[in-house]
Amino acid sequence: MTPSFTVTLDEINAMDKAAFIAALGGIFEHSPWVAEGAYRHIPFRSVEELHKTMLDTACQAERGQVAALLSAHPDLATRLQVTPLSAAEQRGAGLDRLTPEEFTLLNELKRKYTDKFKFPFILAVRGKTKDEIIEAIGKRVHRSRDEEWAQAQAEIGHITGFRLRDLVREG
């Protein structure tokens, strides 16, 4: 999945705060505060440094703010409207082509997961099949809350890394 536009790292580094937030505010699902927090570290030497700074901003925030970030992620294979980035990522994994049985199983697992952890199942689905996704949630639903809190943040790191590398070119 590639965005409809890309920018260079040099262009990112030259942006004022409002433009920076406008360009990168959607990288972390419904959480432009991450881009706003990362802006104070401008300029960035690489896309990886930019991503690490954004991820550190997100993961080192107050626990309630991190919980809100986790909760901002859409359910996988939902029939509800999701952001264009999430929709494209889910289509790429085949989640728009689930059989009725797969859809029912995935929804049951998601409900158990959300009931247990109080945030949606988060997985970087790029490069994964629908079977791998169903297998992952089937395993992860049995973990502890601390394990899943950490795993969800790691998955957000993968998701946002893909998104940022799709949007920002070195140079």
Distance of CA 171 to the CA centre of its chain: 25
Nearest to 139 by CA among 154, 121, 126, 124: 121
Q: Which one is catalytic: 41, 51, 73, 158?
A: 73
30 is catalytic: no
Which active-site residues does the annotation give? 73
